[in-house]
Amino acid sequence: MILDTLKDIDAYEKLHPLFPAAFRHLRELASREQLPHERLELDGERIYAVFVRGTGRAASDARLETHRRYIDIQYTVAGADRIGWLSAAACAAGDGYDEAKDVELFPGSPGTWVDVPAGHAAIFFPADAHAPMANAGQPVTKIVIKVAANA
């Protein structure tokens, strides 16, 4: 897991061959006054964006999740997100992997919580179980860039 500002995110470009393009798309989307409501393909299935607008749940209700095919770059546009983290290797048996949604949900609690304020991005790799939107009733708007893990 990585947490940093959008301004400094380029420091992580060398970690994945699609990160330079993903960060460029993220900066462009973050500069818009209006965000789309639907999934936005940026480079076919290799890089796409989804947009989250909602109210956070209690930390006790947040579910740990992992993705196998995609890396998540979760950028907070407005509000502040609180995201739990636990190594996927430390998770108890999950509910089973949903290939169509590229997600597996796990019981248990995150070992670490991070606050992701507006202007910051958290990057979660397939080995990072994460529990987003645990900001207890607070509104948040996010851009989630999905980057193919095996590019």
**What string of pLDDT tens digits covers the 151 residues of the chain?**
999 999 999 999 999 999 999 999 999 999 999 999 999 999 999 999 999 999 999 999 999 999 999 999 999 999 999 999 999 999 999 889 999 999 999 999 998 999 999 999 999 999 999 999 999 999 999 999 999 999 8
Report whether 132 contacts 64 (CB < 8 A): no
Bridge-based pairing of strands 70-87 and 112-117 is antiparallel
* Structure-token pair, residue 34: 């209006």
Q: Pick the closest to residue 2 from 78, 118, 132, 116 (CA basis).
A: 116
Contact between 88 and 80 (Cβ < 8 Å): no
Name the pTM for this structure: 0.95
Domains of the chain are 2-148 (2.60.120.370)
Q: How far is CA 58 from CA 36, 37, 91, 113, in A?
A: 27, 25, 20, 12
Residues paired with 110 in a beta bridge: none
